[in-house]
Amino acid sequence: MDGKGGSAGPGTGGGAGANTAGTTGTSGTGGTTGSAGTTGAAGASGTTGAGAQGGSSGGNTGGAGASGGTGVAGNGQSGTAGRGGTGGAAGSAGRGGTGGGAAGAGGTTGSGGRGGTAGTGATGGTTGAMLDQTGNPLTGIVNTYTGWLSTAGSDAAKLTADRTLADNMITWQMPHGGWYKNDKSVYAAPWNGSDPRSGWLGANNVELGTIDNGGTVTEIMFLADVYRRSSDTKYRDSARKGMDFLLTMQYPSGGLPQVYPARPNSYSNYVTFNDDAMVRALGMMDVAVRKATPLVGDIFTTDQLTRAATAISKAIDYILKAQIVQANVKTVWCAQHDQTTYVPQGARSYELPSKSGKESVGVIAFLMSQPQTAEVKAAAQAAIAWYKSPAVKVANTAYVSRPSSSTDDNYNPIQPRTGSTMWYRFYDLDQDVGFFSGRLPTDNPPGTGKQYDIMKIEPERRYGYQWGGSYGTGLFTYTDRVGY
């Protein structure tokens, strides 16, 4: 709930005194700032005081104090405290009493109401309920770090193995705090001080960190888990540097690019939903703000947690503005969007601007992990309705990748399968028609470009990329259960 300022008490009336107009009451003091809370409580009411009468015939009552200001809505994590109420107007002077009684002095101004306690929850000025998160696909997107934890031996043996990996991991962290999209095997040995730590370079040959393929997010959560079990602050400090990297890379609009610093003349600078990059980073920030395992205790500073809450709020605003509208109906998202215009963008030559049947699942899952304001709920439900549309889903069909051992170039991965439902990875922006794309004819090697028949794109792209999948099926298991 939003915090609201308490109502200020009316000013007290003037007592009998000299036959002069009452003096102006002093202004009410500003309300104290409401503390952030999970649920905004109403600010306490100001003290009510009726104006005293003037001389024997009774003076006029003092003017009412102004109400306290309403607390601004929370951002989903910590609300802004309500402003203090302004002072009430001065009471008018009492009328002169009969028998020569003097006029009462003017009432003093009522004190301002206290600022309301900040509310949790939503952009748009209202709070929203939280959905049960059991089964939300976002959990699996965020918690990939668990696959890097040791499973061998006793707890002590597991920690020893994980500390070795974490020690090596810290050496691969770049000065800006980020990591490259490394496989776990990279951390089998420490950085030797000379090999490249990133496959991408920015201006002046600076090595770039990334959130692609779980980069940086996985390392932060792994280090946090090791710190939780070891209490060794070197793991905490490295995780904090990683969090600063994520907070720094966010655009003012709220979107997160694939890399930081910028990658010259590259699609990597677009806001990136591709491979769940942005929603994974946001999901990790949400775990941090909630102080859920493994991001517990003092793994991050109070300032970092405050900035993370703000980052989530800004990102939600970006997501809502970037949602693709087709024929005046909200649908889903592209894998990349422009950071200022929100327009869908392509990436590699065969990744064209589109409505994404794959990446939009993660965006929906993230929105459903946040307080369900009217705006957030409407965006999520519109996207779910798009997935369920008969024009979008392909019934009794499955996407079955060609076995890696096969060289059959006549193999069609889109196959009939009773009871299965398939969604294309890419749909046209202006119609619900799935498409595929080879490399461009000008590429090396050359390709066939955009096609509506998968068998018309060159085999290298046909079998070297995932063009469809049962993307909505797992999502519906969760959304149906919570009534969406």
Model pLDDT, residue 127: 79
Model pLDDT, residue 106: 38
Model pLDDT, residue 76: 36
Over the chain (484 residues), the average pLDDT of each successive run of 10 is 36 32 36 36 35 33 35 36 37 35 36 38 60 98 98 97 98 98 98 98 98 98 98 98 98 98 98 98 98 98 98 98 98 98 98 98 98 98 98 98 97 98 98 98 95 98 98 97 97
Model pLDDT, residue 344: 98
Model pLDDT, residue 404: 95
Model pLDDT, residue 116: 37
Model pLDDT, residue 17: 31
In sequence order, what are the residues at sequence separation of 6 or more whose Cβ sits closer than 8 angstroms to the Cβ of residue 15? 52, 54, 59, 104, 105
Query: Which domains, and CATH codes, for the chain?
Result: 137-388 (1.50.10.20)
Query: Is residue 426 within 8 Å of residue 432, measured between CB atoms?
Result: no
